[in-house]
Amino acid sequence: MRYLTILTSLLLFLGAIAMNLTESKGLPVRTAFRASQPLDEPRRTILNINNITTWVEDNGLFPTITHEWRNGTYPKGTAGVIYAEGIVWGGKVNDGRRSSLRVGGSTYESGLVAGAILADATGNVIGREDVNSSDVRAYRVRPDWAAADLREDAASLFMKKAEQVTDVEIAELRIQYEKDWNEWPAHKGAPFEDRNGDGDYNPAVDVPGIPGAGQTIWYVANDLDSAKTYTFAGAPPTGLEMQMTLWAYHLPESHPLGNVSFKRVRLIYKGTPSTPTDATIDSMYIGQWADSDIGNAGDDYVGCDTLLALVP
């Protein structure tokens, strides 16, 4: 098969003391959840099962929702520590005609669109999924969706205080969890616990998401939209499909994993409709990009621990 799969796992530990964030960077912000997309086909959703929240869109963007909420909050319900984040990559594409450096990914805007890359039986790329298809969306599951108290979950999803959440909103959220459970896109690459060992996802038997996780988000995006790639980095499409998995564990703040969220990015080189089957990417680099805001955005000093593979 003509593709290269690159798998990375990024652990995000937000251990900083978050202070009130009131400054404006003049960069793009998103509108509230309900104004952006119907709940049953979300373009955007939130990881919020423990003491961290993270907003994500199905095109690879980790956006700022409002200047008050930012992208990520820690501790949950207090203040933001991440303005925006995303995955960025670059490499030399050898497509049989010439070698060219191409860059893609997401920062404040995304060079991707939602959906998988489509190929025929021989592996030749024929296009991409329709972004308006009902099964092209950000999927979110939690194993206890049927019986759990979803008030706190709904509060951060709808950006409200818990006491402001209505019973109707909780019911809508529970319906969405059930829908994503039943329609979990395992056939596209979404992870699941195969309890009967038959290799196929059966919602009546199997458990969608990362085994043991309290909440999992999954979606797939691609870089076949040349308008997006040229706007993002001035480069033509590479032909990369990105499968994003986010997960966290339902644990209290006192537990170390109650302050941790996980991100797994799988990049599959499938090429474009004009790419020959023997095309390759050489000298490719992948990076986790983030604009961290701790207090005043003008004096942020953030770093990473290379030995523990921790980034803020």
Secondary structure (3-state) at 229: helix
Residue 172's pLDDT is what? 94
CA distances 214 to 148, 238, 261, 268, Å, are 11, 35, 11, 27
The strand pairing partners of 208, in sequence order, are 192
Residue 35's pLDDT is what? 34
What number of other Cβ atoms are within 10 A of residue 161's Cβ?
Answer: 8
Residue 297: phi, psi to the nearest 5?
A: -65, -15
Residue 30's pLDDT is what? 52
Reading the block at residue 226, the tokens are 């040349």
């770093």: which residue's tokens?
303
Q: Which residues contact 136 (CB under 8 A, 6 or more apart)?
A: 58, 114, 115, 129, 130
Mean pLDDT by groups of 10 residues along the chain of 312 residues: 40 31 45 46 89 93 73 80 90 81 94 96 92 95 97 90 93 95 98 97 98 98 97 94 97 91 95 85 90 73 76 62
Output the pTM of the full model: 0.86
Closest Cα partner for 118 from 106, 128, 103, 108?
A: 128
Residue 141: phi, psi to the nearest 5?
A: -135, 155
Which stretches of 166-253 are assigned E, i.e. beta strand? Answer: 192-193, 207-208, 215-222, 240-248
CA distances 41 to 36, 132, 139, 183, Å, are 10, 9, 9, 12
- CA 210/CA 230 separation, integer angstroms: 34
- Outline where 144-280 has alpha helix (H): 151-157, 167-182, 226-233
- The answer to whether the CB of 102 falls within 8 A of the CB of 238 is yes
CA distances 60 to 28, 107, 242, 297, Å, are 15, 9, 8, 23
Q: Which residues contact 107 (CB under 8 A, 6 or more apart)?
A: 84, 86, 88, 232, 289, 291
Q: Which residues contact 295 (CB under 8 A, 6 or more apart)?
A: 19, 20, 21
- The answer to whether the CB of 22 falls within 8 A of the CB of 147 is no
Using CA of residue 285, residue 6, residue 143, residue 44, what is the dihedral sign? positive
- CA 154/CA 172 separation, integer angstroms: 9
- The answer to whether the CB of 82 falls within 8 A of the CB of 290 is yes
